[in-house]
Chain A
């Protein structure tokens, strides 16, 4: 090792990363890509191709993608998309004021504790926390008990297994991923800029819209990516808290690989989802480059 040319050393440092990425990211993605062009056999495995030329020229290798354009699947795609958008918007609307309080308004001695409180949920498994929501939202659950005890309702409400419960679960789970980057950008905000805005005649709201918000937009953008991408592929929350009418693209892909035993179709759906996320990330990278900021 000692007489290795200095030039090869950086490569050695990157070797573990390349190996990990290659083995656990590039390789599986390649398998999924190949699978997506295959056909399901009647027994649920892959049917072998005998005539390659006929298979490709007939366009049969694209049949999984063609099938995914069916109205039923498009509806689920569409629902996943708007629910991910709504999750992101709700997270931003809830997290921004909270982050603002943490970074700017909270007394310094409380800051550490409050930040810790925001991070503590990470100490518990996401699955367990989602189950906890089932206990809260079910017919005999905490939410209904409290509402009845407060005489606000007489009969328990159907809070679980619908789109609202899925939304609650998504927003709850993704909130910290919006809070932390927004907090970081607010914490970084140079207070003398707000004083300058004030000195130039800007009132409270003007200062917020013209200085604070534009300067913390990178935090919001990072939070958007961190929330939107996992929400789009989410299947645990919708599986546990959702009903049949709140199925997301993630559940559908999971179904193809398990109960439906149609790996090729599942692969095609997974790749479409990956492509969508990739486009979003490219848009984000372009935005970040335009602002001359580091990515995430």
Chain B
């Protein structure tokens, strides 16, 4: 933001320039009127020449004004741009822990509304503040030049005004706060109502809901009117202070002119300068408001900027060279919030091994694999890749070696080709098509009118759950990772497609280490070893035959599935 300092200095200088031109105009008027009153005196210009000078000053004022405003306001926009950049850059470094604690709507509203408030403060706010200071200083200087006594009389009402404004802005702060609170209550009501639409319908509470919403709106209306009342007073108070000044000048200054202590030109110019003070004074109240709002918003943005990720880059990264895919958990325990997700995990996975992980909901099977691409923070010395502590390897290295297919397939509103190619920047069409084929997508894509160029999401086609999952798989495959992690990837795919994908995948695996998490056993066929998890611990492991023979949890799950299959066949 340092490079914006120059812009502010330049803007300030230009602002002084434009205001000097503006201030010259009443002075020229004073000289002109004095000239008109005493047409005979020597060394004076004609009214036409004064007129010309005013016109020149006016044009100069206008030209410099354009530059001063654009310089300062552009600087405000520029800072907004940089701040938004910083905020987004920060968000990119934050981990899942952060995003699960913050609501997306909240982050978005901070990046929109609060950023606007800050920009207003840094653009218009600074502009108006500088303007006020320049105009006040210059006008007061010139006023004293005309008549020091009259100046003191004219600004006499100002302390009173400042007092009133101060009082008003204090209550303004309270009222605005009350208003914001009412608004957030209203927002909460809408949010609840929309989320619980089925409850509302089931109990026929539509009318009642409308009534409570009406009340929330009423509360907000009342709070807003409180602010409106204050705003309503602020403006006339500001405006009439200026008029009071004129009144005093009229009464006292008029007398002075009559007594010959002041020229008529001086009197007119004095009035002109006084009039110039009115607008900046009104603006000043507005600036106070902007400053309070901007400061509050800046603290809200600061909460994002100062947030710290728990998953961080190592201080002294170890370069593992090419990650080959050996994984080792050493007595790993992991808690999420207060809940213990994994307890004392000891597991050694050889490079190229295919591991299946099975267990009920909440058994910790997904958590186990999510730790490998470091989605969550882990303690030092608990998880090793190729024998190196995972926390010592840079995030870049780890994540480029890991292909991860998450449970919930998130796709971007881009084309299917872009979504698959996301896994490998600069991927060729052949690579994309190959990945799509392995993931069993080829047939689906051929049916879309625009094939690979079909847009996904709100503005494009809506993919089925199974199609989304397969795009996510293709996206991970194209990366050619040494470690491939599939976190329940085929839950929304029917049995036939599953079969097809699994056989295509087994040709792809090669030397890669593969971890497949599933709540069903069918995707785990062909795994070298199957891990059964329960309550965050590994309870059984071995190959299919061994585990069946063991007659434990795995055997029970297997039995259940056979029963299910029987039901299916009925």
A is bound by B: no
A contacts, CB < 8 Å to B? none
